[in-house]
Structure 1
Amino acid sequence: MLRRGKGIELKSTGEIQAMRAAGLVVARALAAVTAKAQPGVSTGELDAVAEQVIRDAGAVPSFKGYQGFPASICASLNERVVHGIPSRHEVLAEGDLLSVDCGAILDGWHGDSAVTIGVGPISERDQKLSDATRESMWAGIEQVRAGNRLSDISHAVESSARASAAADGIDYGIIEEYGGHGIGSEMHMAPFLPNLGKPGRGPKLKVGMAIAVEPMLTLGSADTVELDDEWTVVTTDGSRASHWEHTVAITEDGPWVLTQPED
């Protein structure tokens, strides 16, 4: 039965399994969006694809209507970091870098995941940026284990991003204002998970917790600004950004990535 530990929701095995079902819906929606994201396709069309997959599964898009957000996905193109609003008038072009965040509610439980998609051939720097962001997410996921502290995840994300920066010869910006979060019976719950920090700090992680790990990196400054639509967040210097995310549960056997596709 759902309960709370120091403000952080703890789930039973059955409730985690229910979250896995929601996570698989999100995984299928993102797979469909990734396949559709080609030059000439609008971000509004991608939004429709995701919503159809979610509703066909008997689930509800968790983003649509959330605090007034008008769509089922966040579609953040190029210099947009997060919370981009999809539009039928925004058409993808070859070389674009598109981050897509998607959430679904199934039987009262949430799944939340994000991917960065290269539209046609993309530049080597953009590919390295996406790869570095994804690798930092997986480094963080490895620390989503009972007995660790929350900031162990943050430190792993930061360390991976800095290692990639050194290897790639690119000074990646690590976004500080936005990060991961607890998830379960609601989409955004305690704790907030920064994407950088020293290890060994914050609440101790326990079996039954679920956390969305979501690093965001840029090819330049980590400074951001919110546009007048009160949603879209962009880099202040116009540099491109990447965003990857998975919902992860803590089990007796370690991290269970609930939004990972079955294959």
Structure 2
Amino acid sequence: MFKSNKDLELPPQLKWKFSHEPELLGWTIRARNYNTFVANGMLLFMAVLNVGAAFIMYSVYAGMSQPWRTLSCVFFYTLMLFVTLSMTHQRTKFAYRFSRSGIECCEWKDFPEWALTFLKWLAGITAIFFVFMATIDPSFLLGALIGPGGIGLTYLSMAYSKSYREMHTQYHHLIHEWKDFTQLAIATNREVVDLKYSTTLEGDDFVTNWNINIFCKRKQKEKVAELIRPFLSPGVPFIKAKVNVPLSTD
């Protein structure tokens, strides 16, 4: 009925089940599928720790000239804050497809290879800078060990840690038939349409009651909800309420 620009392509790991049916609605979006309050709290906590680390670094650099001493600590803090932000506020990619059979949601999160490339080049550039400055002020040799060395260790821990890669990589394909939904809600606190469902999952012998958050683009959640409503079973509640996005969907 209406379509948004599809700026994301499905990865090869994910395929539409009802691709043989006409698409009623489909779009892709990048969203944070977790509790942003908790993520903001984690970022604040790590920012405070980084301030402490920067002060320790400042005391270690006592022999360095004041301007470069301050600049090195500010650079270190900014870098660590950037790395922390990339871990606590990473966005997940979503693709939605509505058909006569139901709703399909593909969600995926690729490992941020760009961050590794950035850290590798940054470590090399800063090492060259500190070595060059050490020809003027020998105290910069200590900075070359702590600054670029710390960046290099961060790069190695991210690049070769299997658990870290798994934490930042996921591929999920969710399929729900219209008859399974038991409540439709328009979120008042986020750009989300929330659908509660009750179904027996494949391989289970019990009924699962849960919900699916459909992340919408700005000012589209009302239109999405109105399209969904006619496909639901008679008597399914349609409400507006505050929606609690889970701590994590991993």
The question of a shared fold, defined as TM-score above 0.5 by the shorter chain, is answered with no
> Normalized against structure 1, the TM-score is what?
0.23
Higher relative helix content? 2
| Larger radius of gyration between Structure 1 and Structure 2 | 2
Higher relative contact order (CA 8 A, sep 6+): 1
Higher relative strand content? 1
